[in-house]
Amino acid sequence: MSRPEDTLPPDLHYNDTEARKYTTSSRIQNIQAEMTHRALELLALPTPSLILDIGCGSGLSGEILSTIPSSQNGPHTWIGLDISPSMLATALERDVEGDLLLADIGQGVPFRAGSFDAAISISAIQWLCNADSSEVSAMGRLSRFFNGLYASLKRGGRAVCQFYPKNEQQRTMISGAAIKAGFGAGILEDGGGRRVLRRIWF
């Protein structure tokens, strides 16, 4: 199967048709839900929290964050960033509770220092490795993202980023950028090595 990351940038790939396909596919919904729950398990939040959702898309993960019962220390309030207007439009149609921002995480994370209890990112940051114009480099985008993310988390805040690296080189590039920004990074592999769940903390 070809990787969507190899063909088009994310704001063009996820047009109205792709955004709807992604959101209504029950296979993707299930995978997304499973990974969101796994991320929450890793975050182990002790109280209802303010969470940044990086690459929130149509809000599939966010919806889960909004409905965690108080017996499991929820519900959480979330702010989602995404570069695809079509994905965000789909989120609007689905009337999600979190706030949505149209933003390119490769340009940084526009929040003041110490804003969030935690951050999650499900299947998004591999898109950062694509530099779509000659003016920007993948390394520059990765480092702006991780530096901004690190600063936006409160002291002791954790980020769980699940991503699909294309190859070993990409994986090393992403974890290298995270560590350089100050994260203590660990990589967990779930699901036969195809799905890589990566936990970063500091």
Q: How crowded is residue 134: how many other Cβ atoms within 10 Å of its Cβ?
A: 6
**CA pair distance 35, 78, nearest whole angstrom:** 17
Tokens of 101: 């921002």
| Cβ distance to another protein smaller for residue 27 or 112 | 112
Minimum distance of another protein from residue 28's CB (angstroms): 22
| Cβ distance to another protein smaller for residue 18 or 97 | 97
| Cβ distance to another protein smaller for residue 5 or 11 | 11
| Cβ distance to another protein smaller for residue 121 or 175 | 121
* Torsional class of 54: left (φ above 0), alpha (ψ -120 to 50), beta (otherwise): beta
**CA pair distance 69, 46, nearest whole angstrom:** 13
- How big is the chain, counted in residues? 202
**CA pair distance 114, 199, nearest whole angstrom:** 19
**CA pair distance 149, 108, nearest whole angstrom:** 8
Q: State whether the Cα torsion 134-105-35-90 is positive or negative.
A: negative
**CA pair distance 50, 74, nearest whole angstrom:** 10
Minimum distance of another protein from residue 161's CB (angstroms): 20
Minimum distance of another protein from residue 62's CB (angstroms): 13
**CA pair distance 4, 24, nearest whole angstrom:** 18
Minimum distance of another protein from residue 148's CB (angstroms): 9
Minimum distance of another protein from residue 152's CB (angstroms): 8
Tokens of 92: 């609007």
| Cβ distance to another protein smaller for residue 60 or 81 | 81
Tokens of 144: 């702006």
By CB under 8 A, name the binding residues for another protein: 47-50, 70, 75-77, 79, 81, 83, 88, 92, 97, 99-104, 107-108, 110-112, 114-117, 133, 135-136, 144, 154
Minimum distance of another protein from residue 1's CB (angstroms): 30
| Cβ distance to another protein smaller for residue 80 or 165 | 80
